[in-house]
């Protein structure tokens, strides 16, 4: 197939807000691919390359001189081979050789194809939020129910691999994906709750109420003495957390997969700020700041997969293997005890509590109602769309933030408000230095950004508004912190924002 088909489909998907239209465009493309093209194309449309990151930056690509061709000639295989050649080039003279290979590829590309390639190679092809739409398209193209495709993606962690299996082997091939110790799966996510009492009542009190820590999500895998530690984005950090590796090797088991949080503590045992915990993942010395693990789920133990088991059984397994590292939790508390546990979490310096249905299975990669997070104030993880230049004392600094919620159907983020509250001088300086690196465009007043940066916003609620395209606006929004551990695809959706509307306004 010609490469231009992928480029045209990407443009078509980005040009519509209709989930149905996006799904149909992707389904049509998938149905026309040869089996050996599926993995590559799905990876590209998810903003990834099968070779991984190839170490080519925007400046290198923009300096390459090559006139575009008028008519498309490149095939999918030729483009993938060319990227592979660039990725595998190393050693003396590799810089010039890479430039020559890229110049040759660009010299055979149309203007639209080159634009697609530049965005793909620099990580700016914003298709990652299309996971749900792409999953639907894979199921439709393969003539399969949606659920087995979702489960295979959950277990493989790679949509491109899932697509290849679905289109070539159907449901039988998808069934071959199982939880594999050492291969991370996408973490289960929680939805915000309006109140603790409401979350407790929704499940009739048949819940676990756990501290919600202000730490970094980790997923731990162990088989024998081999240990792997992954972040919430499935990035492996094993070599940077030796204290966690040592601790996991001492657990009384031969194989285990645990889900939890890690954080740094002060000498008094209280949690350090989130930014200090995150700094450990990039520290020069692994022992600059010791990390402490707190686990809340066990999804595999000694050869037995527990994904489909109710949370209550998974917690029993966790108690058997790592009771000393459990997050403080109450099982089936009455309403008064749940409220007291919430207060205790806040007194200990944590964010609030999680309320989880004891009957819930582990829905990896999904944000469902069976896990709900309760905080004293509402918080949302939003995309920074831009920032206005400050005035008065803030003259010369990028200040007032434009905030967007994620479109679950893969469209651009939907603006829901602005704020300059909560910004310290240090954050203002950081924004002014960092934002131009993510610049999309600017005018006299505002620098507009690519949707790279996620910020956690505290707010009093939301209200109906005609000012912003999502029909809602944030009330009294304040910046809490930036979230370098989260990607655009993990930002809160416009539905999550609308869910905070007063009941009579929904």
Structure confidence by residue, pLDDT tens digits, 436-485:
999 999 998 999 999 989 999 999 788 888 889 889 999 889 999 999 98
Structure tokens at 133: 């739409």
The torsion angles phi and psi of 189, rounded to 5 degrees, stand at -120, 165
342 is in an annotated binding site: no
296 is in an annotated binding site: yes
* CATH of the structural domain 378-500, one choice from 2.40.50.140, 3.40.1160.10, 3.40.50.300, 3.40.50.720: 2.40.50.140
Q: Each residue of 400-423: pLDDT tens digit?
A: 999 999 998 888 899 999 999 999
Asked if pLDDT for residue 298 goes beyond 70, the answer is: yes
d(CA 410, CA 412): 7
d(CA 360, CA 313): 10
Among 43-47, 128-132, 281-285, which is the least confidently predicted range? 281-285
Please tell me the predicted confidence (pLDDT) of residue 267: 78
Residue of higher predicted confidence among 43 and 377: 43
177 is in an annotated binding site: no
Q: What percent of the chain has pLDDT over 70?
A: 96
235 is in an annotated binding site: no
For residues 199 and 212, the answer to whether their CB atoms sit within 8 Å is no
For residues 257 and 221, the answer to whether their CB atoms sit within 8 Å is yes
124 is in an annotated binding site: no
d(CA 51, CA 58): 18
Confidence of residue 128 (pLDDT cuts 50, 70, 90): very low
Dihedral-angle region of residue 108 (phi above 0 means left; psi in -120 to 50 means alpha; beta otherwise) = alpha
Q: What is the number of other CB atoms lying within 10 angstroms of the CB of residue 75? A: 15
Residue-range domain boundaries for the chain: 3-176, 189-374, 378-500
Sign, Cα dihedral of 233, 236, 241, 246: positive
Please tell me the predicted confidence (pLDDT) of residue 287: 53
Q: In this structure, which long-range contacts are made by residues 122-126, counting pairs with CB atoms below 8 Å and at least 24 apart in sequence? A: 122/56, 122/57, 122/58, 122/61, 123/47, 123/53, 124/450, 125/10, 125/44, 125/47, 126/47, 126/412, 126/450, 126/451, 126/488
Structure tokens at 419: 């704020």
The torsion angles phi and psi of 162, rounded to 5 degrees, stand at -60, -45
For residues 216 and 142, the answer to whether their CB atoms sit within 8 Å is no
The domain covering 189-374 belongs, at the CATH homologous superfamily level, to: DNA ligase/mRNA capping enzyme (3.30.470.30)
d(CA 183, CA 143): 28
Q: Each residue of 150-185: pLDDT tens digit?
A: 999 988 888 999 999 999 999 999 999 989 999 999
Q: Give the max Cα distance, the chain.
A: 71
Q: Each residue of 350-366: pLDDT tens digit?
A: 989 999 999 999 987 77
Structure tokens at 360: 């819930």
The catalytic residue positions are: 212
Asked if pLDDT for residue 127 goes beyond 70, the answer is: no
367 is in an annotated binding site: yes
Please tell me the predicted confidence (pLDDT) of residue 282: 55
210 is in an annotated binding site: yes
Give the number of C-alpha atoms closer than 13 A to the C-alpha of residue 467, restricted to the C-beta side: 11
Asked if pLDDT for residue 315 goes beyond 50, the answer is: yes
Confidence (pTM): 0.73
Query: What's the mean pLDDT in 15-37?
Result: 92
* CATH of the structural domain 3-176, one choice from 1.10.3260.10, 1.10.540.10, 1.50.40.10, 3.40.630.30: 1.10.3260.10
For residues 444 and 410, the answer to whether their CB atoms sit within 8 Å is no
Query: What's the mean pLDDT in 481-506?
Result: 84
| 341 alpha carbon, distance to own chain's centre | 29
Asked if pLDDT for residue 75 goes beyond 80, the answer is: yes
Structure tokens at 290: 């010791």
For residues 192 and 352, the answer to whether their CB atoms sit within 8 Å is no
């Amino acid at each position: 197939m010609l490469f231009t088909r992928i480029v045209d489909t990407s443009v078509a998907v980005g040009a519509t807000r209709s989930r149905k239209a996006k799904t149909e465009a992707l389904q049509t493309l998938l149905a026309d691919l040869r089996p050996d093209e599926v993995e590559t194309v799905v990876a590209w449309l998810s903003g990834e390359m099968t070779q991984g990151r190839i170490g080519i930056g925007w400046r290198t690509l923009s300096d390459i001189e090559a006139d575009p061709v008028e008519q498309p000639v490149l095939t999918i295989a030729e483009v993938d081979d060319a990227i592979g050649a660039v990725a595998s080039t190393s050693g003396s003279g590799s810089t010039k050789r890479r430039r020559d290979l890229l110049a040759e590829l660009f010299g055979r590309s149309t203007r639209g194809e080159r634009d697609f390639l530049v965005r793909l190679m620099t990580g700016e092809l914003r298709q990652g939020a299309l996971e749900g739409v792409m999953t639907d398209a894979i199921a439709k193209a393969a003539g399969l129910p949606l659920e087995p495709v979702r489960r295979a993606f959950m277990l493989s962690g790679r949509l491109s691999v899932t697509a290849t299996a679905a289109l070539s082997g159907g449901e039988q091939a998808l069934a071959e994906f199982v939880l594999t110790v050492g291969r991370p799966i996408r973490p289960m996510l929680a939805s915000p709750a309006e109140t603790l009492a409401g979350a407790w009542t929704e499940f009739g009190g048949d819940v676990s109420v756990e501290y919600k820590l202000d730490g970094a999500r980790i997923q731990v895998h162990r088989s024998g003495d081999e240990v792997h530690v992954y972040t919430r984005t499935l990035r492996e950090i094993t070599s940077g957390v030796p204290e966690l590796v040592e601790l996991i090797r001492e657990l009384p088991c031969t194989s285990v997969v645990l889900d939890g949080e890690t954080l740094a503590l002060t000498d008094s045992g209280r949690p350090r700020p989130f930014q200090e915990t995150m700094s450990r993942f990039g520290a020069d010395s692994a022992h600059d700041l010791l990390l402490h693990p707190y686990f809340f789920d066990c999804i595999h133990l000694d050869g037995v997969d527990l994904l489909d088991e109710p949370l209550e059984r998974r917690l029993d397994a966790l108690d058997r293997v790592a009771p000393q590292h459990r997050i403080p939790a109450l099982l089936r508390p009455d309403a008064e005890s749940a409220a007291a546990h919430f207060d205790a979490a806040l007194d200990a310096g944590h964010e609030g509590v999680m309320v989880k249905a004891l009957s819930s299975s582990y829905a990896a990669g999904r944000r469902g109602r069976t896990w709900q997070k309760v905080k004293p104030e509402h918080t949302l993880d939003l995309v920074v769309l831009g920032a206005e230049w400050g005035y008065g004392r803030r003259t010369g600094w990028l200040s007032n933030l434009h905030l967007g919620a994620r479109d679950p159907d893969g469209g651009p983020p939907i603006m829901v408000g602005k704020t300059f509250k909560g910004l310290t001088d240090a954050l203002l300086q950081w924004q002014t230095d960092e934002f131009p690196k993510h610049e999309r465009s600017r005018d006299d007043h505002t620098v507009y950004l690519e949707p790279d940066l996620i910020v956690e916003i505290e707010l009093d609620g939301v209200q109906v508004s005609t000012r912003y395209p999502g029909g809602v606006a944030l009330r009294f929004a304040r910046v809490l912190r930036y979230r370098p551990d989260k990607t655009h695809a993990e930002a809160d959706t416009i539905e999550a924002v609308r869910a905070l509307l007063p009941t009579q306004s929904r």
